[in-house]
A and B are shown apart, each in its own frame.
Chain A
Amino acid sequence: MFAFCSDPASLDGFAWLTCYITTSKHLQLYYAVGTVLLLLAITAPAALAFGFGGAMAARAHIAPVRWFGKAYIAVVRGVPDIAFFLFFVIALDQAFEWARHKVLCPDWDQPIRQGNDFVVCQAAKLPLGSAPQWVHESYGFLLAVLTFAIVFGAFAANVLFGAMRAVPRAQMETAEAYGMSRRQAFWRIMVPQMWVYALPGLGNLWMVLIKATPLLFLLGVEDIVYWARELGATANPRFTEYPHGDWRMWYFLGLMVFYLGFTRVSEVVLERLMQRLTRGQATTGGEAQRKAA
């Protein structure tokens, strides 16, 4: 990357290290960090949306919808999340291909499951066999995002369901007394007030989401765990200009420090956010802020 890196064998100490950590493979590692941040940025709102939908379904008046909502919330309890991750990635992929197969190839007569194979017609393959590499990669990433959103959506649904119930009953009664319909009361009174009750739980969830990102590795995305293993492994002088021993331990130490820093920053930001949301609320925290002012 730098001009003085042209002959790594002649370098030593800091200069060597500078050149080493800016090789093109290391740039891919930093790019993978970007992938993780992108995953968090997409998954967090998506999971919140899934969670909101789940919580609304669990409160619904129509019994089957309510059962669905409650089952969605309950199903993540009792089963390891990693099993969900491994399950959903294949299951979603097959579900998409199956649906496309039914639509695109209606006159296909062979069974889809043939022994140990899952066979759909060429046109139903996802992504298409002829698609460029980046489509394959983004499809894998999209499946991972959807999986994360489904699993964490269930956690978020549980938190939001609790928060909706925590809004004081008197507030809803007042809304009814003012003549609001159920829908109006929900959107204008309950939703704005529930966040302060939901935030501790959602903050917790955010921390857990951060800590779940290395599981991307298991979903077949080339993420930071993949690159840390790849780059840390013993580098043979025959194949690289930067030979070194087994440094995987140091790479993973680096990842651990990265996550610790990320967690710490999140803690500080969430604390600030909580302060802001508490302002003017009918809780002890809000009361304390009012007295201090």
Chain B
Amino acid sequence: MSCLETIQAYGLRAIGIGERLLPQDNFTLCEQVTLIGSGLIWNVYFGFVALVSGFILATAVALGKGSSNRVIRKLSEWFIFVFRGSPLFIQFFFAYFFFLSLKSVSPFFDILTAAWLGALIVLFLNTAAYSGEIFYGALRSIPKGDVEAADAYGFSGWRRFRRIIWPTMLRLAWPAYTNEAIFLFHATTLVFFSGFPVWQQRGDALYYAKYFADKTFNPFVPYPILAGYFILLTLLVISVFGLINRHLNRHLPQEYRRKLSLRMNLIR
């Protein structure tokens, strides 16, 4: 097969379009690059959807942790502690077996044991907890003067939050939130290594990389390909978040604008 044919056959293999049978032997570089790249679709899907949906819950959790209501505050604190204090890997396992036992209660829950929804829920809750903590930190470091000025202008309640507090919170939290986004994308590689089954060999990038490494017993080709893809993905995330950062800081004088400084960060 020429490389173009390989791309046609396997380019969308991860979502079930194209050749059914994975290559079995005599792997070409093109096959490895194509299949691992096709697996990346899942990583992007999990990361993107979890990030967008988690953002909303994260804001709610951050407000909850800063709330004066004792019950809401305790609930938010526990939510953050549970998801930040335990390994994501174990969370995946627990959630999968939990969904599996729900399945025996009613067939309505069948869908949860599929990775595309079940794992997404775990990632959503997980990123909401991590980002919630970041947003809470930002919420507490909003300059007092900003809020006082808002009061002086007659802002209150929802309008004060929407116009003053929320944008400032985002602006302060953005560099840390960028890191969180990068590591969320990295964390998506764990999905198919926990309980969630790979259906018809439609896996993510790491699943295919491991497939090739296991078949050829040569880790020096598939893993660097995977690394290359993830470095590209990371650069893309950085540039998108950089644009948003510029937008959030657009009203500030040039020298006060906060550059995105990327700290190396950590797995969860």
User: Which residues on A are within 8 Å of B, measured CB to CB?
Assistant: 73, 76-83, 86-87, 90-91, 94, 113, 115-118, 155, 158, 204-205, 208, 210-215, 217-218, 225, 228-229, 232, 246, 248-249, 252-253, 255-256, 259-260, 263-264
C-alpha gap A116/B97 in the complex (Å): 36
17 additional contacts (CB under 8 A) given A77-B264, A82-B189, A252-B94: A79-B226, A79-B227, A80-B206, A86-B209, A118-B217, A208-B268, A210-B87, A211-B86, A214-B87, A228-B93, A248-B97, A252-B97, A255-B94, A256-B86, A260-B82, A263-B85, A263-B86
Asked whether, in the complex, the Cβ of A82 is within 8 Å of the Cβ of B190, the reply is yes
C-alpha gap A113/B132 in the complex (Å): 50
Minimum CB distance partner of A208 in chain B: B266
C-alpha gap A204/B262 in the complex (Å): 16
A-B contact pairs, 23 of them (CB 8 A): A78-B230, A80-B186, A80-B187, A82-B206, A83-B230, A86-B206, A86-B210, A87-B223, A91-B219, A155-B264, A211-B268, A214-B89, A214-B90, A225-B90, A248-B93, A249-B94, A249-B98, A249-B100, A249-B101, A252-B93, A255-B94, A256-B86, A259-B90
Identify which of A83, A86, A115, A259 contacts B85 (C-beta below 8 A). A259
Minimum CB distance partner of B266 in chain A: A208
Contact A117:B217 (CB < 8 A) given known A76-B264, A208-B266, A252-B97: yes
C-alpha gap A204/B130 in the complex (Å): 14
Instruction: Report which residue of B94, B187, B209, B262 has the largest number of chain A beta carbons within 10 angstroms of its beta carbon.
Output: B94
Any chain A CB within 8 A of the CB of B108?
Answer: no
Minimum CB distance partner of B222 in chain A: A87
Contact A256:B266 (CB < 8 A) given known A86-B210, A263-B85: no
Any chain A CB within 8 A of the CB of B116?
Answer: no
Contact A83:B206 (CB < 8 A) given known A116-B216, A155-B266, A246-B97: yes
Give the distance to chain B from A140, nearest Cβ to Cβ, in Å.
16
Chain B residues lying within 8 Å of A115, measured Cβ to Cβ, are: 25
Asked whether, in the complex, the Cβ of A118 is within 8 Å of the Cβ of B193, the reply is no
Asked whether, in the complex, the Cβ of B209 is within 8 Å of the Cβ of A83, the reply is yes
Per-residue contact bits, chain B 203-225, to A (CB 8 Å; 1 contact, 0 not): 00010011001011111100100
Identify which of A79, A90, A214, A263 contacts B230 (C-beta below 8 A). A79
Asked whether, in the complex, the Cβ of B226 is within 8 Å of the Cβ of A83, the reply is yes
Any chain A CB within 8 A of the CB of B53?
Answer: no
Closest 3 CB pairs of A and B: A80-B186, A252-B94, A249-B97
Asked whether, in the complex, the Cβ of B264 is within 8 Å of the Cβ of A87, the reply is no
Give the distance to chain B from A229, nearest Cβ to Cβ, in Å.
8
For the residues of A in contact with B, the DSSP-based class is helix
Asked whether, in the complex, the Cβ of A78 is within 8 Å of the Cβ of B231, the reply is yes
Asked whether, in the complex, the Cβ of B97 is within 8 Å of the Cβ of A259, the reply is no
> How many interface residues does chain B have, given as a range?
35 or more
Minimum CB distance partner of B229 in chain A: A79
Any chain A CB within 8 A of the CB of B267?
Answer: yes
Asked whether, in the complex, the Cβ of A225 is within 8 Å of the Cβ of B93, the reply is yes
Identify which of B25, B89, B206, B227 contacts A225 (C-beta below 8 A). B89
Minimum CB distance partner of A248 in chain B: B97
Any chain A CB within 8 A of the CB of B88?
Answer: yes
Give the distance to chain B from A92, nearest Cβ to Cβ, in Å.
10
Give the distance to chain A from B93, nearest Cβ to Cβ, in Å.
5
Chain B residues lying within 8 Å of A228, measured Cβ to Cβ, are: 93
Chain A residues lying within 8 Å of B209, measured Cβ to Cβ, are: 83, 86
Give the distance to chain B from A217, nearest Cβ to Cβ, in Å.
8
Chain A residues lying within 8 Å of B189, measured Cβ to Cβ, are: 80, 82-83
Minimum CB distance partner of A76 in chain B: B264
Identify which of residues 180-195 in chain B touch chain A, using a CB-to-CB cut-off of 8 Å: 182, 186-187, 189-190, 193
Give the distance to chain A from B113, nearest Cβ to Cβ, in Å.
12
Any chain A CB within 8 A of the CB of B109?
Answer: no
Asked whether, in the complex, the Cβ of B219 is within 8 Å of the Cβ of A87, the reply is yes
Instruction: Report which residue of A76, A81, A118, A208 has the largest number of chain B beta carbons within 10 angstroms of its beta carbon.
Output: A81
Give the distance to chain A from B45, nearest Cβ to Cβ, in Å.
16
Chain A residues lying within 8 Å of B199, measured Cβ to Cβ, are: none
Contact A215:B89 (CB < 8 A) given known A155-B266, A248-B97, A249-B94: yes
Asked whether, in the complex, the Cβ of B219 is within 8 Å of the Cβ of A205, the reply is no
Chain B residues lying within 8 Å of A210, measured Cβ to Cβ, are: 87
Asked whether, in the complex, the Cβ of B267 is within 8 Å of the Cβ of A208, the reply is yes
Chain A residues lying within 8 Å of B97, measured Cβ to Cβ, are: 232, 246, 248-249, 252
Minimum CB distance partner of A93 in chain B: B219
Asked whether, in the complex, the Cβ of B215 is within 8 Å of the Cβ of A116, the reply is yes
C-alpha gap A76/B213 in the complex (Å): 20
C-alpha gap A117/B216 in the complex (Å): 7
Asked whether, in the complex, the Cβ of A205 is within 8 Å of the Cβ of B266, the reply is yes
C-alpha gap A79/B206 in the complex (Å): 11
Identify which of A113, A213, A218, A232 contacts B193 (C-beta below 8 A). A218
Give the distance to chain A from B263, nearest Cβ to Cβ, in Å.
8
Give the distance to chain A from B131, nearest Cβ to Cβ, in Å.
17
Give the distance to chain A from B197, nearest Cβ to Cβ, in Å.
13
Give the distance to chain A from B41, nearest Cβ to Cβ, in Å.
16
